[in-house]
Structure 1
């Protein structure tokens, strides 16, 4: 009985330690196969150190399928060194320099300014979840919210957000 209690106590301590040592946004993304394209893009853009920094950050992280839904050849073209500026702009369009949990997003439609300061996005929180309208007028849905990182939070989205003309919030 004492031994079982000790094992249970040790397990609880390990679980608490693991929960408190989530890792940075980059660490979490790199450890999840659903984000392999995003991780490759962050690396190609030279943003690894930035997103491993202190933060806080909110990252709207597209899954691999979201990148695959872009027109054929887009990802490959963006990953070329000569397109680093454009890739960086697209990636920074997915980053807010605040820690914004899903519960902190006000109901209704609201503008927010991503790190790419020349642009803004419209985030809408309704009874059916959270959607983000990008500069092209289409929306990404948050499919998994509030993955906590040591330096912020990740919300998984189903579309790559693209800068463009400012989206209208309804």
Structure 2
């Protein structure tokens, strides 16, 4: 069932991508025909303007893990906050969005079985572990991103090209470890 849903989503994106490949990550987020990135778009707009500027740059060569609206709704429910309340915290949004970006393009074909990478959120709390393994339960390759806070997200749609960047759609919002929140942004 999950595979069928992913294929439909992939075909929908492929159909829109064949007409015109997005020039930037921001263009991909804005033009998503399924509307799966409306909360992500609002978060990008509410965060530090440097986030929007970077994601709008067609020369940006990065990997972006893009949480769906469903992923954000899951987070809002877990935190017991509204989207409006979350969008008011510019520093938090900037940190969380930075945690979703790696400073180099990493297509799924370049993934190793297990690797640690630094996101744009600097320091130990900005590290994520990416795994690529065969899921016996679902009988398919499964890519997961593990956070310093102990949570993980599954890549549900990999390798969407946006300019010089690659976007992997994920099913959860990545949250940095508690060490970040104890210190706060620098």
TM class by shorter chain equals: 0.7 to 0.9
1:2-44 alpha-carbon deviations (Å, 9 max, x no partner): xxxxxxxxxxxxx99845x432111011111100100110111
Stretches (4+) displaced over 6 A? none
Partner of 2:117: 112
Indicate which of 35, 43, 64 corresponds to 1:41.
Answer: 43
User: What is the Cα deviation at residue 74 of structure 1?
Assistant: 5.3
1:59 aligns with 2:61: no
User: What is the Cα deviation at residue 102 of structure 1?
Assistant: 0.4
TM-score (norm 2): 0.74
Aligned pairs for 1:95-106 (under 5 A) are 95-106=101-112
1:39-75 alpha-carbon deviations (Å, 9 max, x no partner): 1101111221111122101100000000000122153
Q: Is the 8 A contact 2:26 2:56 kept in 1?
A: yes
Partner of 2:156: 143
Q: Is the 8 A contact 1:62 1:158 kept in 2?
A: yes
Matched residues in 1 for 2:169 and 2:69: separation? Answer: 11
Indicate which of 82, 91, 100 corresponds to 2:97.
Answer: 91
Partner of 2:83: 75
Q: Is the 8 A contact 2:24 2:60 kept in 1?
A: no
Matched residues in 1 for 2:99 and 2:70: separation? Answer: 18
* Residues 71-80 or 131-140, more deviating: 71-80
Q: Is the 8 A contact 1:52 1:151 kept in 2?
A: no
Structure 2, gaps ≥5 residues long? 1-15, 136-141, 180-186
User: What is the Cα deviation at residue 117 of structure 1?
Assistant: 1.5
Structure 1, gaps ≥5 residues long? 1-14
| Count of residues in correspondence between the two structures | 148
